[in-house]
Amino acid sequence: MHAIEKILARASGKDSVRAGEIVNCRVDLAEVNDLYPQTIHSFYEMGGRRVHSPDRITFILDHYAPASSIQQAENQKFMREFCREQGIELLFDVNSGVCHQVMVDHGLVYPGMVLIATDSHTTTHGALGAFGTGVGATDLAVILATGHLWLRVPEILRIHLTGRLSVGVYAKDVILHIIGRLGADYAIYKAVEFTGPVVKELSVSERMALCNMTTEMGAKCAYIQPDQVTLGFLKGKVKRNLEPVETDPDFQYAEELFFDVSAIPPQLAVPSSVDNVRPLSELVGTPVHQAYLGSCTGGRAEDLAVAARILKGRRVHKDTRLVVVPASRDVFLEALQRGDVAALVEAGATFVTPGCAACLGTHEGILAAGEVCIASTNRNFPGRMGHTQSAVYLGSPAAVAAAALNGRITDPCEILAELERKES
């Protein structure tokens, strides 16, 4: 069996499971975000009175942090009251950040767990060896009521990464390249495992970016085998002994694909589809009105650090806005302690509170008609970040910062190579 199958077998009390099988799994953690008050209504509609396991439920108010409409404020108030009535202590309010970063920051994510959330980017947690997938309000309501959920065991696609990343090329460029080559519907209902020497070299933050965006090619979940990098990252965060499961050496993948990352230059998903991917070099010189650094894909401390490195002592272009959204309170504190916040604010950045902000076009930096934005986020369909006539390019945090500096799409490799020359 694959590690994912072992996780689902354990969660469903079976010795073994196989792809295509429907299993009823015990859910180790269920997450509800503030877009989903319907989860509570559905819980009551199906006869729920008391939630099954309040200690295995978390509510995270992140998509409207803080509320920017009366309805959002009402929804958040409704959720706070539900948590209080039900004894759900893992309520993270509008001062916390994006659910996927908050759960990792607080040691709620660990290898071998089943994590179900009302958010499609729950695939992120495969980076820590968890089975993480997103569901809608009704399925999550079933978990509130029973602590369990049916799941279909996914086929498993292995993506083997070889070679070495060039300076200025990041996990975001790799996953954009892969999605561009395979298409946005390639991995529907499949698990995607990343293997290979390149993965071993990646930080947890970069691994989270890889896994996060498998959603954008339809994946049900993602997976990276926990190793010393994972365990070192989790030590001190997770208050339990970590027992990652291993994939059997003779496991047969449904499909195996190989990518040499040495051959991948900086990439961009161009308007208006995540799989409309081209080398950044073809877009150099495109004017941008806004550069956006944030989200559960590209708003972590490492991402802000790259941007601060590029912009420190320089100014954001006069015709371009740089909006920076730390993925969580802890990320914000780390960036403050490193001096990256000061460097970015002094360069002209607009900081907004940790959360989802303009990633899904609700508030805190949305776009007007005709405006062009380059973002470190994960979706760029029409209207995603504001007006349906606005255009969004998806790229690495370095590409976002380079564009903010010049007011137009710029190859970050040249800037970073120059910085390395100066520093050496």
Q: Binding site membership for [4Fe-4S] cluster: which residues? A: 296, 356, 359
Q: CB neighbours (10 Å) of residue 1? A: 18
- DSSP per-residue string spanning 179-237: HHHH-TTTTTT-EEEEESHHHHHS-HHHHHHHHHGGGGGT-SEEE----HHHHHHHTTT
| Nearest alpha-carbon partner for 215 in 105, 280, 122 | 122
CB 417 within 8 A of CB 402: no
| Residue 359 binding ligand SF4, by CB under 6 A | yes
Q: Binding site membership: which residues? A: 296, 356, 359
User: Which residue in the block uniquely carries the two structure tokens 């390395």?
Assistant: 420
| Residue 101 binding ligand IPM, by CB under 6 A | no
Binding span for ligand SF4 by CB under 6 A among 10-18, 71-79, 190-198, 353-361: 353-361
| Residue 218 binding ligand IPM, by CB under 6 A | no
Q: How far is the CB of 376 from ligand SF4 (least distance, A)?
A: 10
Give residues 120-139 in contact with ligand SF4 (rule: CB under 6 A). Answer: 121
What is each CA distance from 385 to 123, 134, 238, in whole angstroms? 22, 21, 34
Q: Please identify which residue in 67, 284, 360, 417 interacts with ligand SF4, judged by CB under 6 A.
A: 360
Give residues 346-385 in contact with ligand IPM (rule: CB under 6 A). Answer: 360
Torsion sign (Cα): 193, 197, 200, 203: negative
Q: How many residues does the chain have?
A: 424
Q: What stretch of H or E contains 308?
A: helix 301-311
Binding span for ligand IPM by CB under 6 A among 71-79, 118-126, 265-273, 416-424: 118-126
Q: How far is the CB of 34 from ligand IPM (least distance, A)?
A: 9
Round to whole Å and give the CA distance between 66 and 92: 12
User: Which residue in the block uniquely carries the two structure tokens 């290898």?
Assistant: 111
Q: Please identify which residue in 134, 218, 244, 355 interacts with ligand IPM, judged by CB under 6 A.
A: 134
Give residues 265-294 in contact with ligand IPM (rule: CB under 6 A). Answer: none
| Residue 73 binding ligand SF4, by CB under 6 A | no
Binding span for ligand SF4 by CB under 6 A among 45-53, 198-206, 266-274, 355-363: 355-363
Q: How far is the CB of 134 from ligand IPM (least distance, A)?
A: 5
The answer to whether the bond into 272 is cis (omega within 30° of 0) is yes
Which of ligand IPM, ligand SF4, none is residue 320 near (CB under 5 to 8 Å by kind)?
none
Q: CB neighbours (10 Å) of residue 204? A: 18
Q: Please identify which residue in 105, 119, 139, 340 interacts with ligand IPM, judged by CB under 6 A.
A: 119
| Residue 115 binding ligand IPM, by CB under 6 A | no
Q: Please identify which residue in 5, 105, 119, 334 interacts with ligand SF4, judged by CB under 6 A.
A: 119
Round to whole Å and give the CA distance between 374 and 164: 25
Print burial letters for 96-114: b (CB count within 10 Å at least 16), e (below 16). Answer: bbbbbbbbbbbebbbbbbb
Binding span for ligand SF4 by CB under 6 A among 103-111, 185-193, 308-316, 352-360: 352-360
- CB-based burial label for 10 (10 Å; 0-12, 13-18, 19+): middle
Cβ proximity to ligand IPM, 266 vs 361, nearer residue: 361
Binding span for ligand IPM by CB under 6 A among 105-113, 117-125, 221-229, 251-259: 117-125
Q: CB neighbours (10 Å) of residue 262? A: 12
Which of ligand SF4, ligand IPM, none is residue 98 near (CB under 5 to 8 Å by kind)?
ligand SF4
What residues make contact with ligand IPM under the rule CB under 6 A?
Answer: 33, 35, 63, 119-121, 134, 360
What residues make contact with ligand SF4 under the rule CB under 6 A?
Answer: 63, 98, 119, 121, 295-296, 356, 359-360, 377-378
